Structure 1
Amino acid sequence: MTDVTPETTEEPVAPRMRTIKSFVMRAGRMTEGQQRGLEQGWPRFGLSPQQPLDFAQAFGRDAARTFEIGFGMGHSTLEMAAAAPEQDFVGVEVHKPGVGALLSGLLARNLDNVRVYSCDALEVLRDCIADGSLDRVLLFFPDPWHKSRHHKRRIVQPAFAELVRQKLKPGGVLHMATDWQPYAEHMLEVLNQAPGYRNLAEDGGYVPRPEERPVTKFERRGERLGHGVWDLKFQRVD
């Protein structure tokens, strides 16, 4: 008797591609203030990545919208939000101590123009942010992934440039900054080749540090040591 394998009409399931993360989840001890910030601030400022973001509902108004990728401990976010109360800011950070620190700062300063995600910023951009809805996207001092074998982990890649372009309004700006010159050169190369952007630097290179980007304590220390910082601004043109 011959065994016959029944035919099936089901399509083979393709293996799920592994997404290369541009960050590493670090275990960090939270201070009491950071923990308190999470507990008290998250219900007011926290956002869920499970649904599209309705800016008008989240902020109760229609204003210029800034999306910040990887706000660290939130110092720059607090300074920018306090200096521009007429604007709305959405910050994304994966590390809980930083999220707690920002939430604590928002409560202490009584700021209401910031909302926060605690997850992968690229997933938020892709799944939660409507196309053509952002005035600015900020990427300040991302991990440069110095070693050549790790360059594939750098967040600034052609696919990143295209995703950001889709989410920016026409005329919206991607502002990046780094203190690692090889990464600055990489950023410049990627964005100069990306369609739909215009470099706002007069010479086609880097812009002077914009006044709206706060100077961090690490940047001040780097300046004392002779380290450089490179700012890049690219505007969506279509």
Structure 2
Amino acid sequence: MGKRKRMPTSLASEDGIPPERRLLPQKRFYRQRAHANPFSDHSLEYPSEPKSFDLSKLYPAYQDTDQRPEFADIGCGFGGLLIALATLFPDTLILGMEIRVQVTKYVQDRITALRFAECSTEELTRKGPYQNVAVIRANAMKFLPNYMQKGQLSKIFFLFPDPHFKARKHKARIISPTLLAEYAYVLRPGGIVYTITDVKDLHKWMNAHLCAFPLFEVVEEDELRNQGHGPVLDAVRTATEEGKKVERNNGEKWLACFRRTDNKRL
């Protein structure tokens, strides 16, 4: 008698799990370098202006509305923050922007699987769980104003960005004097910029440049929590893969938040 084939551990441990949940992608099939050079030619397609940015395929349940993304996660990585915010703000459109091909594909597949897990095929064009979140492959350092209208965003996130340690690479940091005007342009007055990193030098860099820019002012974490932003701050600290990795290694995280000021203050 031949030996009985052993059931793969990954399947044997999934008893009782709905089939849709098994559609969730596994990162080992989406191998990608940790960082990408934002100044390289990545053969990207981008809209000529925000009005030509087609949202219907990203948010099919909202294709008959005039809603546009209000939150943007720049360099969203594997989408941990996007997924957390999707349930915290079910009526708000949230967009992740990621430059790496395979990482973007992973997040797209993750969102698709979560949508199918929560809805039947017929319900995918109706507003429901995870219909409000999407990701695109884009270089925000070059083309953010091609996607976002003036004052469109109320929240913009820069979570655990590439530190670019070498001084000659500092110009590639996502927070830099040349880019802050664009972030202020797409962020409405009163909107919040969230930054967090486990690299203290990078924290000081981002903090210094944002503080020096006339359209941003520091807003303390306690003030944001008192205003009801606690769940967002908790997600910023813990929802991303990088944040979880820092916790596993007992590392430190440096958070800094900034409010977009009114243009009249200039």
Quote the residue 2:121 is aligned against. none
Is the CA contact 1:73–1:97 (under 8 Å) kept in the aligned structure 2?
no
2:73 equivalent among 68, 75, 84: 68
Q: Structure 2: which 5+ residue stretches go unaligned? A: 1-26, 31-43, 57-61, 116-129, 224-228
Q: Structure 1: which 5+ residue stretches go unaligned? A: 1-28, 33-46
- Matching of residue 130 in structure 1 with residue 149 in structure 2: yes
Which residue identity is paired with 2:257? Answer: K
User: What's the offset of the Cα at 1:96?
Assistant: 1.5
SS in 1 for 2:93: strand
Quote the residue 1:50 is aligned against. 47
Question: What does 1:8-157 correspond to in 2, within 5 Å?
Answer: 31=29, 49-54=46-51, 58=56, 59-60=62-63, 61=65, 62=67, 65-110=70-115, 111-157=130-176
Q: Where is the helix percentage greater, Structure 1 or Structure 2?
A: 2
Is the CA contact 2:194–2:257 (under 8 Å) kept in the aligned structure 1?
yes
Change (3 A) 1:151 1:74: same
Q: CA RMSD in A?
A: 3.1
Deviations 1:134-153 (A, max 9, x none): 11111111100112232222
Change (3 A) 1:186 1:203: farther
- Matching of residue 225 in structure 1 with residue 249 in structure 2: yes
Is the CA contact 2:98–2:139 (under 8 Å) kept in the aligned structure 1?
yes
Is the CA contact 1:134–1:172 (under 8 Å) kept in the aligned structure 2?
yes
- Counterpart CA distance in 1 for 2:179 and 2:111 is 29
User: What's the offset of the Cα at 1:161?
Assistant: 1.4
- Counterpart CA distance in 2 for 1:220 and 1:57 is 31
Which residue identity is paired with 2:246? Answer: G
Which residue identity is paired with 1:122? Answer: M
User: What's the offset of the Cα at 1:196?
Assistant: 1.2
Change (3 A) 1:183 1:138: same
User: What's the offset of the Cα at 1:75?
Assistant: 2.3
User: Larger deviation: 93-102 or 118-127?
Assistant: 118-127
- Counterpart CA distance in 2 for 1:78 and 1:202 is 22
Change (3 A) 1:138 1:145: same
- Counterpart CA distance in 1 for 2:247 and 2:139 is 30
SS in 2 for 1:166: helix
Quote the residue 1:215 is aligned against. 239
- Counterpart CA distance in 2 for 1:168 and 1:141 is 20
- Counterpart CA distance in 1 for 2:50 and 2:234 is 29
Change (3 A) 1:163 1:56: same
Change (3 A) 1:48 1:152: closer
Which residue identity is paired with 2:256? Answer: L
User: What's the offset of the Cα at 1:83?
Assistant: 2.8
Change (3 A) 1:231 1:117: same
Percent identical pairs in the alignment equals: 24
Aligned residue pair count:
196
Which residue identity is paired with 1:75? Answer: G
User: What's the offset of the Cα at 1:130?
Assistant: 1.1
Is the CA contact 2:49–2:145 (under 8 Å) kept in the aligned structure 1?
no
Deviations 1:205-229 (A, max 9, x none): xx99812424334423423433111
Which residue identity is paired with 1:235? Answer: R
- Counterpart CA distance in 2 for 1:202 and 1:212 is 13
TM-score, normalised to structure 1's length?
A: 0.71
User: What's the offset of the Cα at 1:237?
Assistant: 1.0
User: Larger deviation: 54-63 or 139-148?
Assistant: 54-63
Is the CA contact 1:199–1:234 (under 8 Å) kept in the aligned structure 2?
yes
